[in-house]
Amino acid sequence: MNDTRKRRPTLQDIADLTGVTKMTVSRYLRDPSAVAEGTRERIAAAVEELGYIPNRAPDMLSNATSKAIGILIPSLSNQVFSAVIHGIEAVTRPAGYQTLLAHYGYSPEREEEQVASLLSYNVDGLILSDTQHTERTRKMIATAGIPVVETMDLPLSPIDMVVGMDHRAAARAMVTEMLRRGRRKVIYLGARLDVRTQLRMEGYYQAMADFGLTGQHLLTEQSSSFTLGGELLAQAMARFPDLDGLFCTNDDLAVGALLQCQARWIPVPQQVAIAGSNALDIGHAMTPKLASIVTPREAIGREAAIMLLARLGGAALPERCKDMGFSLYEGESLG
């Protein structure tokens, strides 16, 4: 079978085109100011003409460093993680680090495969989006001996460094606000039963208990979506016809529930108060504006990258666990 791949331009191709040695071209690529101005201009023109792509493999082999950070996210469609990545790259890009992204669909086994893959590329560090991992994942990371930052949650036994927030406390605060405003039959809607969904449910039940109330929940393992939020609203109304509030694990479900209420002529917040989590932009565009927990996703990503690069630079960190906090956006859907 023929190999149809086009041959990539080499250092020798640039040297032949410019009439200088391959060593001079290499010196220019490492530090353009290290060669004479005329030579520099000729090499730059040749690099542009040939579309030269540097091969970093030799540096990775000789220096045991890749200048690359591996990032694992559970979902490509979830806006939450795009904000985290934006925060990470705002720090890594100016520092000259590339990011390698891997997706694992909320599966610890798939995360294990992706960690193995990223480590095979000799990444200098890892940023993880979950705090529950298989034993093999933990073993591989320990063997690699590279710095790791777990994000989003605040686990009791972190692998290395942690940047996150207290989802249990955030949920408790939002549900407490709903109850403080007079709601008494608030139902919790959860999907994709990951750690954060479970922590928010615990916070919900704590708030209900604080007011001497019995909580109720509807859970599904399906991925969150507006459509699913509408379906869960219909189920909740059938099972709990006297409900007067919904606390949803995220804004996708909350927006879907709000839209379904409007389709059924159920006034929000007059009859049913609704709150979500993550304070996505669509919630601000709704009428009424959706109440939601403001999660500092971009700040979490930025801080994770700062801590990781500090460790790679040999700096001693005063704290290895950073709680980035949260706030409540009360919107117009609480009543």
193 & 133 share domain: no
Residue 281 falls within a domain, yes or no? yes
pLDDT in tens, 33-91: 888 888 888 988 988 888 777 765 555 544 556 799 999 999 887 788 999 999 999 99
289 & 312 share domain: no
209 & 225 share domain: yes
Give the position of tokens 């099972």: 239
Number of independent structural domains in the chain: 3
182 & 269 share domain: yes
Dihedral sign from CA coordinates of 133, 135, 137, 139: positive
With CA atoms as reference, report the closest residue to 189 among 140, 144, 131, 255.
Answer: 255
Instruction: Tell me the pLDDT of the chain averaged across its residues.
Output: 91
Mean pLDDT of 153-174: 95
Residue 3 falls within a domain, yes or no? no
254 & 309 share domain: no
pLDDT bin (cut points 50, 70, 90) of residue 5 is low
Cβ 248 vs Cβ 276: under 8 Å: yes
The least confident of 57-71, 193-207, 235-249, 296-310 is 57-71
Residue type, 236: A
188 & 229 share domain: yes
Mean pLDDT of 220-227: 93
Give the HSE-up count for residue 264: Cα atoms under 13 Å, Cβ half-sphere: 16
Residue 60 falls within a domain, yes or no? no
160 & 171 share domain: no
Residue 117 falls within a domain, yes or no? yes
Residue 335 falls within a domain, yes or no? no
Residue 327 falls within a domain, yes or no? no
Mean pLDDT of 225-234: 97
74 & 141 share domain: yes
pLDDT in tens, 191-219: 988 899 999 999 999 999 999 999 999 99
pLDDT bin (cut points 50, 70, 90) of residue 121 is confident
Task: Give the whole-number percent of the chain exceeding pLDDT 90.
Answer: 71
The least confident of 66-70, 157-161, 315-319 is 315-319
Cβ 129 vs Cβ 155: under 8 Å: no
218 & 289 share domain: yes
Task: Give the whole-number percent of the chain exceeding pLDDT 70.
Answer: 95
Residue type, 240: F
The least confident of 55-64, 135-144, 201-210, 289-298 is 55-64
25 & 71 share domain: no
pLDDT value at residue 225: 93
pTM value > 0.75: yes
With CA atoms as reference, report the closest residue to 121 among 142, 96, 158, 146.
Answer: 146
pLDDT bin (cut points 50, 70, 90) of residue 1 is very low
134 & 230 share domain: no
- Which CATH number do you get for residue 219? 3.40.50.2300
pLDDT value at residue 30: 81
Cβ 84 vs Cβ 301: under 8 Å: yes
Q: Which range of residues forms the domain containing residue 203?
A: 167-294
Residue 6 falls within a domain, yes or no? no
260 & 177 share domain: yes
